[in-house]
Amino acid sequence: MKVIALCGKSDVGKTSILKKLMRELLNENELVDSHFKKETVLRMIDPNDEKWFTKKDKKNISNLTITLEFNGKLVTITSMGDSKDLIVGSLEGAKRRLVRNGNKEEIAIYICACHPKMNVGAMLGCDCVKYICKEKTEKGKINDQKVTKQLKFELNKLL
């Protein structure tokens, strides 16, 4: 398995970018699995929908993990990743759901978020990790689009 890790400090927009990536990829690819129903996933990845945020305060962006088929391979993307437990747990949960649903194909690429200096490769036991750095900028939306394009480029390159 190969990994793409969106690296950045807290509150720089990693979750938003990963959810926007999910949205773009699901426009053209099949959702294979998620903890949530497809309708809920589509609402959670729409920044104009109330499900974009958590129920509690509408300030925190909700997290989710999805697996989709991209160019004939399984790609799992999680918006969680501020700790080792979340990074590893999201992947393990996706693997368990795939097995439970009878899918025997292995996840080819895992895309997650992480904090600077986290060794995602060591956490997951893989030696192919591409880190993409995200920093907070004044031009947030422009930078988000740039980072999303970079994630898609790396995804295509790794497959």
For the cut 70, the answer to whether the pLDDT of residue 62 exceeds it is yes
DSSP tag of 77? E
- Whether 147 is covered by a domain: the verdict is yes
pLDDT for position 142: 59
Beta strands in 41-128 (DSSP E): 65-70, 73-78, 107-114
Helix (H, G, I), strand (E, B) or coil at 54: coil
Query: Is position 72 within any domain?
Result: yes
Give percent of the chain with pLDDT exceeding 90.
73
Tell me the pTM.
Answer: 0.92
- Three-state SS string over 106-120 comes to CEEEEEEEECCCCCH
pLDDT at 136: 67
Return the DSSP state at 69.
E
CA distance 139 to 143: 6
Give me the CATH number covering residue 144. 3.40.50
Distance CA 116, CA 11 (A): 13
Domain hosting residue 105, numbered range: 2-32+63-158
Q: How many domains does the chain have?
A: 1
Q: Is residue 81 in some structural domain?
A: yes
pLDDT in tens, 86-131: 999 999 999 999 999 999 899 999 999 999 989 999 999 998 999 9
Q: Does residue 51 fall inside a structural domain?
A: no
Position 26 pLDDT exceeds 80: yes
pLDDT at 57 over 70: no
